Structure 1
């Protein structure tokens, strides 16, 4: 998609405090990338190259990918993987899948194999330890899949152990409230696409206004972004940092862009420093 509809790439930086973070991991640098939707339409080659360059320039210790590498047809994953193999990090690249990566019956296997072939560790209800036993990386199945079941995964961890959780859909933060989640990284929402400065994503406020319209008249109310209720429930978590009970959630705005485009909601590479 042309940059006029997408906006310039933004490298967003934040520092996240994690209780009981081992001293050796103080200052650890993470980069999160999400929602590529690499299909020849929603992500330009120029923007992808810029995101990869920005990631490598940050010299991250760990790269974390939070899903939706393709849109519907999984075939473009092979071309995307060819580009993502240029990503560089000290402790590797870990990923989860999104709802678009499991669109067809064969999508999950094809996307997983393509990423695995370039050295990306795809987690599906799994725990990995690239940083050691004292800061595990938890990767959950997509929320809309039949295999989303965090209970047996989270119960494997001691409550005293800090952890980072990768989960494509930020709605899962509500379910994960019952466990310790020092940092959840999600995507899926594209930041809401249309954002008003000082107000936030239009889609969040639109839902509240729509409730004031009689049900018989609602179908006559135009809405450029489609049926937002089918994307997520908690649009207040559409982008950025959020405290969810005792847990921390960060939602990346993604790289891919759907119509009508982005407004004050640029595609994002996230650089996170732990302390």
Structure 2
């Protein structure tokens, strides 16, 4: 049933040019995973096993996790953390939390404790230096929390390139005030249903929603109020986007909600960094 609803895993490979990337980091390889929703319903055991095996075979320098590891209950977090502990990379696994990881009250502490006990560093408005001082990794609090604080970027010299992990791609809009060489996000599940040639279905539902009677909306996928408000910028639902002077990549995630995925397979992203033109 899981495969019927989600389809098979897709491994997406992109190369991103980073201005001022130290020569020692040329060819650095990242794996990004997002939106696992490990709750026994939205992510199959087979998919999780495959994802870990594929990631390890790639032998990345670093694994980036971009949120929503559980759904409505943090109880599965320790089990998931034990599984993710088997992810192999040269510099370790770094994570930020998503909106599902911070609700209900106490969930953030439980998920964070479980991950850190497994050796996964969770960043909450924090800066880490797994690559050294030449390429900091900034992890932001979830956009829907009261603690989202991009001013942590003020701690960095603007001449130094940086990676930013931020669950919700809508954060790319306020982050235009800062240098962000590459932002990695998730949250949208890629829209889950994609119409070939037209893009994610929620993008089009936004335009037509006003013409649908309110009494009908709860019965139509993606027109419920909670789905409609997932993100403001559905045009960034998946893939690589230029937002002002910054780059944003949105992973389609691994977990799947009803009515399932169509032309929008779950994703493991392989990102190769290369030196770009001089910094702005």
Which interval holds the TM-score relative to the shorter structure?
over 0.9
Aligned twin of 2:75:
75
**Pairing 1:223–2:224 present:** no
Encode CA deviations 1:162-203: one digit per residue, 9 max, x unaligned: 000000000000010000000000000000000011111011
Return the alpha-carbon distance in structure 1 between the equivalents of residues 208 and 214 of structure 2: 11
The CA deviation at 1:132 is 0.5
Return the alpha-carbon distance in structure 2 between the equivalents of residues 248 and 150 of structure 1: 16
The question of whether the paired residues in 1 share the 8 Å contact of 2:190 and 2:238 is answered with yes
**Pairing 1:157–2:151 present:** no
Query: Counterpart of 2:4 in 1: which secondary structure?
Result: helix
The CA deviation at 1:205 is 1.1
Query: Counterpart of 1:53 in 2: which secondary structure?
Result: helix
Encode CA deviations 1:114-134: one digit per residue, 9 max, x unaligned: 100111010000000000101
Aligned twin of 1:11:
11
**Structure 2 spans left out of the alignment, 5+ residues:** 275-280
Aligned twin of 1:103:
103
Runs of 4+ in 1 over 4 A off after TM superposition: none
Return the alpha-carbon distance in structure 1 between the equivalents of residues 124 and 2 of structure 2: 33
Return the alpha-carbon distance in structure 1 between the equivalents of residues 121 and 128 of structure 2: 9
Return the alpha-carbon distance in structure 2 between the equivalents of residues 165 and 223 of structure 1: 35
- Count residues with an aligned counterpart: 271
Aligned twin of 1:266:
265
Aligned twin of 1:166:
165
The CA deviation at 1:43 is 0.3
Return the alpha-carbon distance in structure 2 between the equivalents of residues 161 and 229 of structure 1: 37
- Within a 5 Å distance, the mapping from 1:48-197 to structure 2 comes to 48-151=48-151, 153-197=152-196
**Structure 1 spans left out of the alignment, 5+ residues:** none
- Within a 5 Å distance, the mapping from 1:198-209 to structure 2 comes to 198-209=197-208
The CA deviation at 1:72 is 1.1
Query: Counterpart of 1:110 in 2: which secondary structure?
Result: helix
TM-score, normalised relative to structure 2: 0.94
Encode CA deviations 1:219-248: one digit per residue, 9 max, x unaligned: 435521233332000000000100000000
Return the alpha-carbon distance in structure 1 between the equivalents of residues 104 and 5 of structure 2: 29
Return the alpha-carbon distance in structure 2 between the equivalents of residues 219 and 26 of structure 1: 55
Return the alpha-carbon distance in structure 1 between the equivalents of residues 140 and 62 of structure 2: 18
Task: State the Cα RMSD in Å.
Answer: 1.1
Return the alpha-carbon distance in structure 2 between the equivalents of residues 189 and 237 of structure 1: 9
TM-score, normalised relative to structure 1: 0.96
Aligned twin of 1:32:
32
Return the alpha-carbon distance in structure 2 between the equivalents of residues 175 and 200 of structure 1: 24
Return the alpha-carbon distance in structure 2 between the equivalents of residues 82 and 120 of structure 1: 10
